[in-house]
Amino acid sequence: MNKTIPDEIVDAIRSRCNIVDIIGSYIPLKKAGSGIWKALCPFHQEKTPSFSISEQSQNYHCFGCGKGGDVFSFVMEKEGVEFSSAVHLLAARCAVVAAENIPDKRMNTAEPAADNGESAGDPQK
Ligand SMILES: [Zn+2]
């Protein structure tokens, strides 16, 4: 697995994107208590809501099918995309950073090609 997206971007998105707003844009939510929201699970068929979202921990969990996670895994699951796409999508949604500022699979950045093309695992700039 290549880790192309810096943690600070992921953290910025996580802190700016309220999971309640994001999930609420996909499915209708009902407030079920202080910081707790419930919904019909989007990942399995059900008649009574067992899908719950915690605003405090910014996590969701379905007691019916067992799916759970954070805002990124929700988008990945719901949109059927991989992590980097979910990050791009949420970055655009929450206006954290312009999507083109997020390094993605070796796209050309503003820099001209560097001399040392193969810099696998180099944490420095
Ligand atoms: Zn479920």
Q: Ligand 1 being an ion, which residues bring their Cβ within 5 A of it?
A: 41, 43-44, 62, 64-65
Amino acid 47: pLDDT: 96
Amino acid 113: pLDDT: 46
CATH, residue 88: 3.90.580.10
For 69-109, write each residue's pLDDT tens digit: 999 999 999 999 999 999 999 998 887 665 566 666 554 44
92 part of a folded domain: yes
* Residues spanned by the domain of 56: 7-97
49 part of a folded domain: yes
> Per-residue pLDDT for 5 more than 70?
yes
51 part of a folded domain: yes
27 part of a folded domain: yes
Task: Please tell me which residue, 56 or 100, carries the higher pLDDT value.
Answer: 56
For 17-43, write each residue's pLDDT tens digit: 999 999 999 999 999 999 999 999 999
Helix/strand/coil (H, E, C) string of the chain? Answer: CCCCCCHHHHHHHHHHCCHHHHHHCCCCCEEEECCEEEECCCCCCCCCCCEEEECCCCEEEECCCCCEECHHHHHHHHHCCCHHHHHHHHHHHHCCCCHHHCCCCCCCCCCCCCCCCCCCCCCCC
pTM of the model: 0.74
Q: How far away, in angstroms, is 21 Cα from ligand 1 center?
A: 19
- The total domain count for the chain is 1
